[in-house]
Structure 1
Amino acid sequence: MRPARFQDFALQLAQTDPNAGAAATLKDAGDKKHPYGLAVKLGGRDARFQFIAYSVPGDNFDVPETVVEGDLVPLDERRAEGPEGWLMGLLADSGSREIATIEQWSLREDPADRRNGLTVEFHDGSKIYARAL
Structure 2
Amino acid sequence: MRPARFQQFAIDTYRAAGLGAEPWNEKTKRPYGVKVRLASGAEVWHAITTQSREGDDFERPEEPVEKDAPEPVAVPELGAGRVRLLDVERHLVALLTNAGSTEMARVYGYSDREQPGRSPGFGVEFHSGARAFASFVHAMRSGQAPGQPFDLPAEV
Is TM > 0.5 for Structure 1 vs Structure 2? Answer: yes
* CA 36–116 in structure 1, closer or farther in 2 if over 3 Å, else same: same
Within-5 A mapping of 1:54-133: 54-74=51-71, 81-110=86-115, 113=117, 115-133=119-137
Question: 2:75, 2:111 → 1: CA distance?
Answer: 11
Question: 1:94, 1:74 → 2: CA distance?
Answer: 10
**CA offset at residue 76 of structure 1?**
6.2
**CA offset at residue 77 of structure 1?**
5.3
1:4 is matched with 4
**CA offset at residue 93 of structure 1?**
1.1
Deviation digits for residues 57-103 of structure 1 (CA, Å, limit 9, x no counterpart): 22111111001111233366586833211211210110111110112
1:24 is matched with 22
Question: 1:95, 1:36 → 2: CA distance?
Answer: 22
TM-score, L = length of structure 2: 0.72
SS of 2:114's equivalent in the other structure is: coil
TM-score, L = length of structure 1: 0.83
Shift >4 Å, 4+ stretches = 75-80
SS of 2:54's equivalent in the other structure is: coil
SS of 1:70's equivalent in the other structure is: coil
Deviation digits for residues 19-39 of structure 1 (CA, Å, limit 9, x no counterpart): x12x11004xxx444201110
Within-5 A mapping of 1:34-73: 34-42=30-38, 43-73=40-70
Deviation digits for residues 82-125 of structure 1 (CA, Å, limit 9, x no counterpart): 321121121011011111011211122335x4531111000000
Question: 1:75, 1:110 → 2: CA distance?
Answer: 24
Q: Name the Cα RMSD after superposition.
A: 2.1
Larger radius of gyration: 2
SS of 1:100's equivalent in the other structure is: strand
Alignment size in residue pairs: 127
Stretches of structure 2 that go unaligned for 5 or more consecutive residues are: 77-84, 138-156
Q: Is the 8 A contact 2:66 2:102 kept in 1?
A: yes
